[in-house]
Amino acid sequence: MAVTLDAQLLEILACPAPDHAPLRTGTPDDPSADALTCTSCGRVYPVRDGIPVLLLDEATTPESDEPRSDGA
């Protein structure tokens, strides 16, 4: 199931990191993945059971080697 968030909701969704930059749906590699990606810092946040998990500790950073939680 791809992330289905309406435009209005995406407008108020931002990265919890201090710059609070906007998020984009999907990952850089897979725009239809169950995830949200920060347009500034590149952190990828998982979406589990349709609920975005916007915790810094749960995010995958672009340079980290941790497995992606989006199943991509």
* Inter-residue long-range contacts of 32-41, CB under 8 Å, 24+ positions, other chains counted: 32/2, 33/2, 33/3, 33/68, 33/70, 33/71, 33/72, 34/1, 34/2, 34/3, 34/70, 34/71, 35/3, 35/68, 35/69, 35/70, 35/72, 36/3, 40/15, 41/15, 41/17
Q: Which is nearer to other proteins, 53 or 72 (CB)?
A: 53
Smallest gap from residue 25 Cβ to other proteins (A): 13
Binding to other proteins by CB under 8 A, coded x per residue (else -) over 4-33, reads: -----x--xxxxxx--x-x-----------
Binding to other proteins by CB under 8 A, coded x per residue (else -) over 39-68, reads: ---------xx-xxxxxxxx----------
